[in-house]
Amino acid sequence: MFLQFFVAVVLAINGCYGDGACEEVMVPMCRGLVGYTHTRLPNRFGHTTQVQVYRAIERYWPFMDSDCHKNFRLTVCGTFLPKCSPGSNTTELPCRETCFSAKRGCSKKLKQGGSKWPNKQLKCNRFRRKRQGSCLKPVPRRLTPRPLRYAYCERNTFSVCENLSPPIRTLPNMFLQSDERLIEIEMNQYRPLLQTQCHENLQFLLCGTFAPFCQSDQQPFVQPCRETCEAVKTACLETFRGLYGGLPWPAKLQCHRYPSGGAQSLCAAPNDAESILQN
């Protein structure tokens, strides 16, 4: 038993979990946002698919978006989806310094959110130090998320929203995201789905979610109506699963998040957007 434990520790330290080929990172809270593009499974927790990884780390998504610390996303994603470089037999896990900085910055916010630092999964002293070899080093200053800013009724410059009417948006969105660079990266994850034209209102839903519409009265912003979301999800769900390795419909696009339309509606539908939104 001791020998098995010792071997497991050595494998974890040296990033030798996973015996499959490198595969593209598809999990949305990590894809395009962690500085590498490929991973290898199974990971140290025995997850063999990215669907399993998604389920395991989905609860940390809000803390990634609110940026409790610049290294939190890299620590979580790098632990569950270790970096894989084609042609290499090993994977890279976060450096010990990366993990400890994230823990110092996020433990308090996790506690405020009814959670706590997952010591069993993210035990920082299990990771190698930067000087001990290859590992995922702390996020460079140039990639640090920008502070939260408020921008009301500005022109929508996100490329996914090109030619969308109305062309005005407000930030932060309902996920407290205001860093346009990170929002752009996340929205671009859906380009393959948009190209399928699975539903005519998919662009409207995505843009109204990540860059909500501006309204002329005191309402901070207006989201798409729940009915629009449900129609898009029904039409696009199977296509989404096929394109993204069987992943579930993204938590950020779950339709219960959106208000329902009606006579006193505080939401926007494609056919009435021009009449209720500021141009």
Kindly state the tokens that stand for 229: 């979301």
**According to the model, what pLDDT value does residue 8 have?**
40
Given a cut of 90, is residue 67 above it in pLDDT? no
Residue 87 backbone zone (phi > 0: left; psi -120 to 50: alpha; other: beta): left
Name the average pLDDT for the chain.
Answer: 87
Q: Can you tell me the distance from the alpha carbon of 131 to that of 129, in angstroms, rounded to the nearest whole number?
A: 5
Q: Based on C-alpha coordinates, what's the Rg of the chain?
A: 20
Partners of 99 in the beta sheet? none
Confidence of residue 4 (pLDDT cuts 50, 70, 90): very low
**According to the model, what pLDDT value does residue 86 have?**
85
Over residues 136-181, the pLDDT tens digits come to: 999 876 556 677 888 888 999 999 999 887 788 999 999 999 999 9
Asked whether the domain spanning 151-276 has the same topology as the one spanning 9-143, the reply is yes
* Burial category of 116 from C-beta neighbours within 10 Å (exposed 0-12, middle 13-18, buried 19 and up): exposed
Q: Can you tell me the distance from the alpha carbon of 204 to that of 230, in angstroms, rounded to the nearest whole number?
A: 13
Given a cut of 90, is residue 11 above it in pLDDT? no
Q: Yes or no: say if 28 and 189 are a contact pair by the CB < 8 Å rule.
A: yes
What global pTM score does this model have?
0.85
Q: Yes or no: say if 278 and 214 are a contact pair by the CB < 8 Å rule.
A: yes
Q: Residue-wise over 133-165: b if at least 16 C-beta within 10 A, else e?
A: ebbbebbeeeeebeeeeeeeeeebebebbeebe
Over residues 37-53, the pLDDT tens digits come to: 999 999 999 999 999 99
Longest CA span, the chain: 70
Over residues 68-83, the pLDDT tens digits come to: 899 999 999 999 999 9
Tell me, which fold does domain 151-276 have in CATH?
Frizzled cysteine-rich domain (1.10.2000)
- Higher-confidence position of 216 and 207: 207
The residues spanned by each domain of the chain are 9-143, 151-276
CATH number of 9-143: 1.10.2000.10
What Cα–Cα distance (Å) separates residue 140 from each residue in 38, 71, 78, 100, 245?
A: 20, 9, 15, 16, 30
Kindly state the tokens that stand for 128: 């190698």
- Mean per-residue pLDDT, 18-26: 84
Q: What is the 3-state secondary structure (H, E, C) of the chain?
A: CHHHHHHHHHHHHHCCCCCCCCEECCCCCCCCCCCCCEECCCCCCCCCCHHHHHHHHHHHHHHHHCCCCCCHHHHHHHHHCCEECCCCCCEECECHHHHHHHHHHHHHHHHHCCCCCCCCCCCHHHCCCHHHCCCECCCCHHHCCCCCCCEEEEECCCHHHCCCCCCEEEECCCCCCCCHHHHHHHHHCCHHHHHCCCCCCHHHHHHHHHCCECCCCCCCCEEECHHHHHHHHHHHHHHHHHHCCCCCCCHHHCHHHCCCCCCCCCEECCCCHHHHCCC
